[in-house]
Chains A and B, each alone.
Chain A
Amino acid sequence: MDAKAEILSRYNAKVFKNRKDHILRVDRDTDGAQEIAANTRAVPGIMTNRGCCYAGCKGVVVGPIRDAVTITHGPIGCGFYTWGTRRNKARAGEDGKNFIQYCFSTDMQEPDIVFGGDKKLRRAIREAVEIFQPKTVFICSTCPVGLIGDDIHAVAAEAEKEFGITCTAFSCEGYKGVSQSAGHHIANNGLMKRIIGSNDTPPAAKFAVNLLGEYNIGGDGWEVERILKRVGYEIVSIFTGDGNIEGISRSHLSDLNLVQCHRSINYVAEMMKSAYGMDWLKVNFVGLDAICASLRGMAEYFGDDALKQRTEEVIAEELAAVAEDTAFLKSRLEGKTAALFVGGSRSHHYQTLLKEFGVRTVLAGYEFAHRDDYEGRSVLPDIKEDADSKNIEHLNVEKDPARYRVFLSPERYGELKQHIDLEEYRGMIRDMPDGSYVVDDLNHFETEAFTALLKPDIFFSGIKDKYVLQKGGTLSRQLHSYDYSGPYAGFRGAVLFGRDLVMGLYAPAWRLVVPPWKKQAGGTQAKGDLSHA
């Protein structure tokens, strides 16, 4: 019996029916593409790792913008839980504004629920403006707000008039959609409607790009920025790690959108294509091969010979600089196996890097991805809208005639599309080894059961699984927050990532789990011990 069958056999009929479509074993011999169910409701009670819509909007997309004051409209919990927990780094810009270390909440109390909280919100905005004087205020609503009917959009409009600032409200109540993913979409819509295209200051450099879906966890964005600047690109805006309102407001004047995390930000990329004619390119700055391919793809897009040459120079220098380190790390990591369960892109991105270190992936899954993230964008036309996704507004963006520019001729576009990921994401499954498992919305029970069956040396996940795994003797590294480390992206990040794996796998503690008197009595060693030593 394979691992899938064994795990499903533990479920009752109803759960079985639900979960069987979310798990697949990669089989290269199957005719046609393998299909997986994704972005459907989590089964109640089985300990999903998923978060809520608010987490996707405030926590993921809107929160990292450093110079906007983001007020959580709701009881204290939600705001508190997103306070400095995602490790998205930021430094203040020239105006000195950086609110990343702050948590702003209207701290709704019982009377606010009974009599409405909009008055309190109004006053809270006033206080925020008076004390912090931000250029932009964002309001993110939590579960009760949608139910008691506070009109946060009206309050935002009033505040704009009164204070002459931008004030945008996001109705991202936790219960919307089936996971964080709904919140990403709502945040994308808000940024598109209110911020993008509101400032027409053009970029200065010849090659200007936006970096979409990079949240600067542990400084990833800064490492990518370093590399792109070396090649000669101007990064007009980053969505949204260490992002700022000014950059986002003039992002439509860049030449190209680079998409790192497809799941959380593809909406903006597509909407900017419709409105401004901007193309987007799927990139991956995790893993040396992937970085090189991304840089070459960008140079190809711009078609400039000097740029291509400079790209090759930078690649050669950067690779040479990390060669010794990566060779050492590979010698220590070769032959290990890994499982990955992260949000909506990283489970895929990190497989490239692991492969370079000789680590084989035995299982990978996404927490809140859609089918296209697994199977590639070619399945988009086949995805049926369900009740939950219909509830999330789909913005129909119209062409902005004044600002619409076409960078590539149709011929060149067609030609390029053949060999770079121009407006294309091919999904995770195609890069996974035969016989490995793909699991959507992996839960607590499955994590444990798959670990027992597949015995990976490392399980990349988040804090909720980490201790479950480590108590059982399997090393776990957090790929959401990088366990206080990072950056892991870029050339230098690859070295740091490898260093962290080696330190984890070779930690002396694993060898000391079983006391000597038990060894003598013929007790079995913990699994973690044997596999790492």
Chain B
Amino acid sequence: MSSRIVNLNTNPCKMCMPLGAVNAFYGIARCMSLLHGSQGCSTYIRRHMATHYHEPVDIASSSLTEEGTVFGGERNLIRGLDNLIALYRPEVVAVATTCLAETIGEDVQAAVRARRESRPDCRTTVITVSTAGYSGTRYEGWFRALHALVSQTAMDPAPHAGVNVVTGPVSPADTRALKRLLREAGLTFTLLPDISDNLDGGCGGTYSRLPEGGTPLAAIARTAGARATLELATFVPEDASPGRLLEQQYGVPLFRLNLPVGLRDTDAFLTALEELGGTIPAGEYEERARYLDAMVDAHKHNALGRAAVFGEPDLVYGLTRLCCENGLLPAVAAGGADCPALKTALEEEIRPLAENTPSARFSVLNFADFDDIEAAVAENDVNLLIGSSDGRRAAHKHNIPLVRCAFPVHDHLGGQRIRVLGYAGAMRLLDAFANALIGSREASFRTEIYNRHCGGKPFGLFPERLDTGCAEPGSPDARAGALRAVPEKKDGKPGPSVVPAAARAVAGKHREAAVNNADKSATHPCFSASAARTCARIHLPVAPDCNIVCNYCVRGFSCPNENRPGVTAEVLTPPEALERFLRVRERMPALTVAGIAGPGDALANFAATTETLRLIRREDPDITFCLSTNGLLLPLYAAQLADLGVSHVTVTVNAADPAVGARIYRRATYMGMSFQGEAAAAMLISNQLAGLRLLTDAGIVCKANIVLIKGINEDHVEDVVRAVKSAGASVANIMQMIPVRGSAFEHLPLISNREHAALRRRCEKLLPQMHHCRQCRADAAGLLDEDQSYMLRGPVPASGAAPAAEAGCAAEAERAPAQVAVAPRNEVTEHAPVKVAVASRSGIVVDQHFGAAGQFHIYESDGLSTRLLETRRVGGNNLGCGMCGRGPLPEGPEDAEQGGGKIARALEAVADCRIVVVMRIGDSPSRRLAERGIAVFSTYDGIDKAVMDAVLARRDNIVAERARDAETV
């Protein structure tokens, strides 16, 4: 299960496997590649490599067509090989597969074997490698190619004194430098691969169609007898590691080192060469000294840098280490592929440096696209981008310089000449980093210095924590703001004299606050859709009481499972809230917002709210404060909220007309008096609108939430949007009402998604709309789409022992199973909650076969909300509530048990459930479940979604069946 919660890759930070394979094969002498698949793959990859290397890149294709996908591609492959060999006379042909060949299940090895047998005279060696684009990235493709070469070449294991040196994707110029170093060290070596000449050739008026440079096959054959293998790749997958293969099959000792980028890793590499009997060339000592000199020279620039490093594993790691040893904080380090080991290594590398930096924030991303990277760049005040030219759009958008030092470079020249390895490579990088930083400072430093010292701004080492605008230095916004500030100060014009000085000061403060607060919206998941995917928030449930009664609301104070506003697992005191905040902040580096969203009303519990915010502000001057309220008390507290540093407030406004409001609100309690009906609504509405004005005047960013209630306010919503807009709200969030059991509106029909979307679109014309609301709990924590609040709670009693608690859901828990148990199948009301058994090992995704499941998670769901009741071992003890009992669960084959026995026990385990949700299930168990009236739902999906889908699908079936029955009657 990947860590990626996003399904749309927006601007990828990785490339596909076949590209990696043919890229590596370009380091083999007289080798041509053929991609087995449709011809687009070859064409695209040739295009991409040629643009980077500025060299001919010739990759053949088996040109599979629709016919090939139906009848198999063997004929095309063999014809392709014949033609390629006849035209080019290569020594080696490397066949790499593509998504197409892998998906239709081509047996490439068999085809190649058959061809060899029918053409005994053919002297060309054919190497095959499996590289489906969906199984990995360019990085894995590169190593799989090398692994295939080593495993398929006829080896000569006679021992010799040579050393094998394996590299991941490095540039031709770096390869050349590496070769020279090895030569000068007096070692005999085989470089795997050696792309130095084939992808960086000269222009001499003649052109050879075959890549004549590179490592010959004969040298690869002798790698089996080498003294040792040096693998300069930290994150190479074991099953694709040529060094590991040589060690396991031929006993060649393997030494795995980091790519020699920067001082420490180059030192380690040279040490290894010395240990293998090489002599470190004198020139290297001098180069090292010069690099150190450069490090000292450049530190004053680099230490002001906050870099974002992105790309492929080894290089990102090497560049990150180089940055760290130069005091240049990699505030963002991102791998495009899914490589958790890289993430851990990066974090360990960056943390010590971050601790010595005033602004210690940094973020490490795994499996990231540029959308993720850009969000992290904005959040971490990055001022330097390091990676491939694919970062150029981010660079342009955020006005940050980009140092291009990785494949691909498509917009600059010199991709083939990139130098990062060794002391000399490090020196070049260091200069490039420092010069990029100097270049962007050069453009703005005069204004910055003037404003810092003569602009009346607060001063400190922690610029982003000062109470001034926190726009990135150098960004157009910051500069524009700064320039505006200068003339104001210079001529010291007092402004219109009717405004008293104190009021001017306040207005000035608010203007500044407004700029600051608006900037904070960029990292507030609710106010910025892109932040929603990268920035986390925590809701602190410190406000249980409410001063109004809404017909759609039921608050719940001890419910761990329902997912809606007004619900929390527990109510916290302010000190507890602080404690939770600190705990979460530690765990989630992406945490940007602390909010109070009930479960009641934040202002109706103003003492607790104030205390909580003060406690947190003392610990974290930086975090964005946000709260949500019904707005009744806003006229009283708006100014205090601004003083507390609240930057964002959400006011729920469901009506602008008291007549409509009277149908939504039952009661409002204000200043010790209770109001009902239209009076309550009228007072609430006028306070809400006045409150919004006060808040926005104070520079606070306001959002209006509107609960869309079918038959009550659906036609009125546009009026509400107009009203909140004129009161200053900057965004509206129209939410579908969740019909909560026990509320007055329990039975109201739901608004369809379509109507909802249409309404949002209409209102969009009036005011920006929030489209990504998840209607969170009052104690939600994490990303909007990834609530982790359940991990923060103390143990929750299992369902059987649930106390008869305040709110709906716990009480239902006791009621629900009984209902289902007595209801015969065809009388089941389609809305009754049902028990659902889920086969899952991870507890997150439905990932198990029915027969193989060692446990079932038993959920209860009515199609609106879902809760976990317990986790049952198949044929074993009840593990209790899965949430309390989280942790590794014993699982696996039940030893000598017959399959049938296991199925029987699985059936027994789910006997009281109405639905079984599995990844796969056999015919027989499926039938046996159907006989017992249990519906089966096969899927591979997150559990919550799967359970919901299953319940709704079953409901549809029941309704349809009933309709059919009615017809036949």
Contacts and interface: CB of A to CB of B under 8 A. Distances in A.
A53 B64 CA distance: 12
B12 A48 contact: no
Given A463-B47, A468-B56, A107 B99 contact: no
Contact of A164 (B39, B56, B79, B757): B757
Contacts of A174: 37-38, 40-41, 100
Interface string A88-110: 00000000000001111111111
A143 B37 contact: yes
Q: For A81, A176, A525, which residue has the most chain B Cβ atoms within 10 angstroms?
A: A81
B100 A144 contact: yes
A195 B380 CA distance: 42
Interface string B510-549: 0000000000000000000110000000000000000000
Given A77-B18, A388-B66, A448-B209, A47 B203 contact: no
Contact of B80 (A45, A83, A121): A45
- Scoring A106, A173, A388, A471 by chain B CB atoms within 10 A of each residue's CB, the highest score goes to A471
B69 A45 contact: no
Contact of A103 (B12, B17, B69, B103): B12
Interface in B159-207: 201, 203-207
B99 A80 contact: no
B8 interface: yes
Contacts of A111: 940
A76 B15 contact: yes
Interface stretch (A127-135, A239-247, A270-278, A289-297): A127-135
B58 interface: yes
Contacts of B44: 51, 55, 77-78, 81-82
A14 B64 CA distance: 18
A49 B393 CA distance: 29
Contacts of A42: 39, 61, 63
A130 B55 contact: no
Interface string A490-533: 00000000000000000001000110000000000111110000
A43 B63 contact: yes
Interface string A108-145: 11111101000111011101111101000000001110
A77 B80 contact: no
A467 B198 CA distance: 12
A76 B133 contact: yes
Contact of B40 (A78, A123, A125, A129): A78
Interface string B40-77: 11011111101100111111111111111100000011
Nearest to B137: A76
Contacts of A387: 67
Interface string A141-181: 01110111000000000000111100000000111111100
Interface stretch (B81-89, B558-566, B644-652, B688-696): B81-89
A85 interface: yes
B450 interface: no
B405 interface: no
Nearest to A125: B8
Contacts of A331: none
Given A45-B83, A161-B754, A466-B50, A124 B7 contact: yes
A466 B81 CA distance: 25
B904 interface: no
B103 A148 contact: yes
Nearest to B14: A76
A449 B753 CA distance: 62
B6 interface: yes
Contacts of B68: 175
Contacts of B761: 164
B2 interface: yes
Given A101-B393, A147-B100, A470 B58 contact: no
A473 B205 contact: yes
Contacts of A54: 40
A289 B761 CA distance: 49
A101 B374 CA distance: 14
Nearest to B79: A44
A46 B38 contact: no
Contact of A77 (B83, B87, B133, B757): B133
B39 A106 contact: no
Nearest to A529: B205
Given A81-B48, A127-B8, A472 B207 contact: yes
B40 A51 contact: yes
A166 to B, nearest CB: 13
Given A55-B43, A106-B7, A129-B771, A464 B69 contact: no
Given A103-B9, A174-B100, A179-B39, 14 more contacts: A45-B61, A45-B87, A50-B39, A52-B43, A55-B44, A77-B44, A81-B47, A84-B393, A105-B8, A107-B12, A147-B103, A162-B757, A509-B203, A526-B206
15 contacts: A41-B63, A44-B77, A45-B60, A76-B15, A79-B9, A83-B390, A106-B8, A127-B8, A131-B530, A147-B104, A464-B57, A473-B206, A513-B204, A525-B205, A526-B206
